[in-house]
Structure 1
């Protein structure tokens, strides 16, 4: 059944606050839905990313905000000023106006209510508006959630899901990491949970970027340190570890996120050792990864999945500030399976990193089987909802 293009089928809301992992995952879904013939309006609330690829989906850029630090408690605008109630009210009205005008078939929200509670000033009224328009609300979440230590927070999430969310799409594989591992109360909403598999660009047979190079054709070390202040400890360690490791004579490429201020970026460029190139993040990351003999990175969802897809030997340093457990949980699971090697933030020194590099290059990695068809399965599910809604309209309004 062909979906009509004269209306917006899917309204995607995503807010990235520190890194761009949420934006990356949502953009892959938007691009896949667009290729499947759906009309997508992509509402992004974070700082603009120049290489964002959402296919032919329509981008609706809200006034940008970001987290002041890794506590995620203080929100700042594009100029670095703390946002006030007037600013929030203005942005909320922009979002609601766009949603009313779009009148989509489906609302897809990244993370909420499992995360992004800082955005309730606009998400609560957005969800209320969708419900008043009889539009299904879907929560899109990653495989592992941050452990909630505040009393009552998990129960609040369950209450909100039962009240406001029609479906929860978990972009993971329950045979590898079930949601219950990080969110024990998931059993209470099991009737709404749908596992899609991991969201990655494509499988190896479709996308040349993922075609694995043979070990003898791989050369060099690729370091992706992420964005913002969280990138600095890894970047500093890498700069000093290069000449201590057995890979000191191969090319090194250090990629830093667009959120890292220019002054700090330029300082790292100046201090990089001979044989190391420092650049901002690149859209051809997967192609670079598939040709590298070693990857060094944090352990975010997207980077780890792309590393596994390209079968690249890897060292990961999970982001764990302010009790963030998601990356550590994922990395520990994968290290146990032999798919990568873990170095904790607490143990991150140039000497420890160099020793870890020397150890990893002597080992072979284990290939693990997980469901990586998240973009395709998510698109099929959303399309089935839209077709069902279209059929219901046809029954209610016969010609």
Structure 2
């Protein structure tokens, strides 16, 4: 069986991990997969049983993206970086993959060059002729010195990569809108369509009191940010309780600090219309049952909204001058698909009115390519098959 090594480094949220694992799920029928996770482990995260997972000592970033930090504070960052570099080289040498997929790098994660450049050099020097693919979302973060950044990306892509897979729909969002030099890339470049999650076979039994009322689902992804949204929802719940029949289910995310989680529980004490949980691996099924989703505007949550066609209010993350979520959200709002939450609306009275208005709206629907998992698998198979054809001559 063909072998595939997939590297994913999530540093603040868990969106990169979720998208990467969905892609891997679609590759397992054709490849023996070794998945390298460089970020914090998520308990109860749904991983296909036939995927070999290697969890490197986890590295994250601070909320301002200024410095890398070791999740295990008893460990030294420099020592962990050296260990991770050597571990990646050893895995490649032992696993001998036909294909290496690296998520985001070099368009992002360049602070992980300490381990990725040695890995890519090792791939280049190997006789295995391993094909190297960059797995990229539809919008990338722009930099203050964008021209210099794009020049470095082009050099790295043209030196090490055979293919770029953009997980988006070019009719909706072109990569050129956030990276101007796509035409300077010498490797194959393909749009795959958006990567969406599928519900698993586990059934969820929602209680009758929830099914009888409008269900409002609230989430903030991994939980390291978006706390202001959760605070507002908790405060708004007392207003909504007097105005409309409903039930609010809130998922804070697995990375939310314990003290913040406890604070939310305390704030919600006595709110009969609000239940708070950390995480569920069956989140998409809750969204399918929801009448309204209130969330951050990450890639995966947005795809869940498009898949389930639920009414939605989304708050774009704008930290580190990141415009990715704002750009995608604004396009969807202009098309009548979602309602964007602005910071000025995070006031309970104002927010309650917005919730009631959204519950009474019927969102528009658009045709957008959501076949990212299937098409990614096809492109990966194609590039690996080319390798085998060349090797046979």
| Fold conserved between structures, TM > 0.5 | yes
Taking the aligned partners of 1:80 and 1:354, their CA distance within structure 2 comes to 41
Number of matched residues?
A: 379
| 1:263 partnered with 2:242 | no
Shift of 1:84: 3.1
Q: Following the alignment from structure 1 to structure 2, what is the Cα–Cα distance between the partners of residues 150 and 80?
A: 33
What does residue 171 of structure 1 align with?
Answer: 167
Q: Is the 8 A contact 1:218 1:293 kept in 2?
A: no
Distance (whole Å) between structure 2 residues aligned to residue 149 and residue 192 of structure 1: 28
Query: What do the CA deviations read for 1:123-180 (whole angstroms, capped 9, x no partner)?
Result: 1111111111231211101011112222511221122112222111000000011111
Matched, 1:63 2:57: yes
Contact 2:221 2:298 in 1 (8 A): no
Instruction: Give me the CA root mean square deviation.
Output: 2.2
Does 2:328 correspond to 1:330? yes
Quick one: which of 377, 380, 384 aligns to 1:379? 377
Question: Could you list the per-position Cα deviations for residues 211-269 of structure 1 after superposition, in whole angstroms to 9, with x for gaps in the alignment?
Answer: xxxxx988310001223441311111111112334765311001011111222212211
Residues 41 and 60 of structure 1 are in contact (CA less than 8 Å); yes or no, is this contact kept in structure 2?
Answer: yes
Partner of 1:351: 349
2:96 to 97, 100, 103: 103
Counterpart contact for 1:75–1:82, Cα < 8 Å: no
Q: Does 1:237 align with 2:239?
A: no
Deviation of the 1:91 alpha carbon: 1.4
Q: Are the aligned partners of 1:76 and 1:82 in contact in 2 as well (CA < 8 Å)?
A: no
Residues 347 and 83 (structure 1 numbering): CA distance in 2 closer, same or farther, change over 3 Å? farther
Q: CA deviation at 1:96?
A: 1.1
Structure 2 counterpart of 1:252: 248
Q: Distance in 1 between matches of 2:310 and 2:201?
A: 16
Q: What runs of 5+ residues in structure 1 fail to find an aligned partner?
A: 210-215
User: In the aligned structure 1, how far is the partner of 2:344 from the partner of 2:224?
Assistant: 16
Matched ranges for 1:184-333 at <5 A: 184-189=180-185, 192-202=188-198, 219-245=214-240, 249-272=245-268, 273-333=271-331
The two structures have a TM-score, normalised by structure 2, of 0.91
* Among candidates 69, 72, 84, match of residue 65 of structure 2: 72
Distance 2:45 2:286 in 1: 18
TM-score with structure 1 length normalisation? Answer: 0.89
The DSSP-based 3-state class of the residue aligned with 2:249 is strand
Which residues of structure 2 form unaligned runs of 5+? 204-210
Q: Which residue of 2 aligns with 1:212?
A: none
Query: Does structure 2 conserve the Cα–Cα contact (< 8 Å) formed by 1:200 and 1:375?
Result: yes
Partner of 2:130: 135
Cα gap change, 1:147 to 1:217, in 2 (>3 Å): farther
Q: CA deviation at 1:346?
A: 5.1
